[in-house]
Amino acid sequence: MKNTFLKPRQVSVGGIGNVTKLVMGGDSPITIQTMWKEGIVPVLNSEQALISIIEQIQKLQGLGCDIIRFAVPDMASAEALCKISQRTTMPLVADIHFDYKLALRCLEGNVAKIRINPGNIGERKKVEAVVNACREKGAAIRIGVNTGSFPKDIVEKVEKGLISRAEGLAETAAREAGVFDELNFDQFLVSMKASSVKETIDANEAFASKYAIPLHIGVTEAGPLIGGLVKSTLAFSHLLTEGIGSTIRVSLSSSPENEVIAGKEILTECGLRQGGVRIISCPRCGRNGFDVHGFVDRWQSDLLSMKKDITVAVMGCVVNGPGEGKHADLGICGAGDSVLIFKKGEIVRTIREENTQILSQNADIAFREELESL
Ligand code: SF4
122-173 pLDDT per residue, tens = 888 999 999 999 999 999 999 999 888 889 999 999 999 999 999 999 999 9
Mutate to test the pocket of ligand 1, among 280, 285, 332 (most ligand atoms within 8 A of CB): 285
Give how far the C-alpha of residue 247 lies from the chain's centroid of Cα atoms, to the nearest Å. Answer: 8
Cα–ligand 1 centroid distance for 263 (angstroms)? 27
Q: What is the pTM of this model?
A: 0.93
288 lines ligand 1 (CB under 6 A): yes
The amino acid occupying position 1 is: M
Single-letter amino acid, residue 373 = S
Mutation pick for ligand 1 pocket among 291, 315, 332, 339 (CB with most ligand atoms within 8 Å): 315
With 60 as the cut, is the pLDDT of residue 1 above it? no
Determine the distance separating the centroid of ligand 1 and the alpha carbon of 317, expressed in angstroms: 5
Interstrand relation of 310-315 and 346-352 (parallel, antiparallel or unpaired)? unpaired
Q: Is 338 helix (H, G, I), strand (E, B) or coil?
A: strand
Distance CA 314, CA 291 (A): 9
Contact 246, 22 (CB under 8 A): no
Strands 346-352 and 338-343: antiparallel
Span 23-67, pLDDT tens digits: 999 999 999 999 999 999 999 999 999 999 999 999 999 999 999
Under DSSP, is residue 250 helix (H, G, I), strand (E, B) or coil? coil
Task: Summarize pLDDT for 292-344 with one digit per residue, the tens.
Answer: 999 999 999 999 999 999 999 999 988 777 777 778 999 999 888 899 999 99
Whether the predicted pLDDT of 198 surpasses 80: yes
In which residue ranges of the chain is CATH 3.20.20.20 found?
11-269
CA distance 39 to 106: 15
Whose CA is closest to atom 2 on ligand 1? Answer: 317
**Under a CB-based contact definition with an 8 Å cutoff, are residues 202 and 184 in contact?**
no
Nearest atom of ligand 1 to the alpha carbon of 283: 5
Portions of the chain given CATH number 3.30.413.10: 277-372
Task: Please give the distance, rounded to the nearest whole angstrom, from the Cα atom of residue 280 to the centre of ligand 1.
Answer: 12
If you take atom 8 of ligand 1, which residue's CA is the nearest one? 285
In CATH, the number for domain 11-269 is: 3.20.20.20
Average pLDDT value for residue range 87-110: 96
State if residue 325 touches ligand 1 by the CB under 6 angstroms criterion: no
**Cβ pair 125, 97 in contact under 8 A:** no
Dump pLDDT digits (tens) for 255-306: 999 999 999 999 999 999 998 999 999 998 888 778 899 999 999 999 999 9
Nearest CA to ligand 1 atom 6: 320
Question: 212-248 pLDDT, tens per residue?
Answer: 999 999 998 878 899 999 999 999 999 999 999 999 9
Assess whether the C-beta atom of 162 lies below 6 angstroms from ligand 1: no
**pLDDT in the model for residue 148:** 84
179-192 tens-digit pLDDT: 999 999 999 999 99
312 neighbors 292 (Cβ within 8 angstroms)? no
Q: What per-residue confidence (pLDDT) applies to 318? A: 81
- CATH superfamily to which 277-372 belongs: Sulfite Reductase Hemoprotein, domain 1 (3.30.413.10)
